[in-house]
């Protein structure tokens, strides 16, 4: 499996992250269990943020914010199976003052297996109340000044 390409411009779509399906990701029949897709999507979102220079633990410690999934809509189109090499894509559809709307796709080669729309909220690490995206992050993703 290849490593993910560098993505110096996180606003460009899509960011891609490779994932291989392991035994732990599947049911007894060797088909990816539905909850495993959530982990794949989360890993890609985390790496998308990291590619922009924002490790989530550092944002929690240094800036006092964390991201939480507010809403998610999934459409399962085709199954992934044991040992498949998948590509998980992340693209930003919209940004608000305290949230991001992301489009994610999981592919095996040219075949789309799953499509997802994910709303991620930025919240204060201390009390989990909504708060503005960190200014540097907003600037890096090209969304400074977007209204809530």
Q: Are 45 and 10 in contact (CB under 8 A)?
A: no
Query: Is 27 assigned a catalytic role?
Result: yes
Q: Which of 27, 62, 83, 93 is catalytic?
A: 27
- Measured in degrees and rounded to the nearest 5, phi and psi for residue 84 equal -65, 145
Strands, DSSP E only, in 33-98?
A: 65-76, 85-95
Q: What is the 3-state secondary structure (H, E, C) of 89-136?
A: EEEEEEECCCEEEEEEEEEECCEEEEEEEEEEEEEECCCCCECCCCHH
- A 10 A CB-CB count for 73 gives 9
Tell me which residues are annotated as active site. 27
């Amino acid at each position: 499996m290849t490593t993910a390409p560098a993505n110096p411009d996180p606003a460009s779509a899509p960011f891609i992250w490779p994932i291989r399906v392991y035994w732990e990701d599947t049911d007894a029949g060797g088909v990816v269990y539905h909850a495993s897709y959530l982990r794949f999507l989360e890993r890609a979102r985390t790496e998308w943020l990291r590619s922009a220079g924002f490790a989530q633990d550092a944002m929690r410690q240094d800036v006092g914010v964390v991201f939480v999934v507010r809403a998610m809509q999934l459409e399962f189109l085709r199954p992934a199976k044991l040992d498949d090499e998948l590509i998980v894509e992340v693209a930003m559809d919209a940004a608000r003052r305290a949230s991001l709307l992301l489009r994610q796709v999981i592919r095996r080669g040219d075949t789309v297996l799953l499509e997802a729309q994910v709303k991620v909220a930025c919240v204060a690490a201390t009390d989990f109340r909504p708060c503005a995206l960190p200014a540097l992050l907003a600037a890096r993703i090209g969304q400074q000044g977007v209204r809530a």
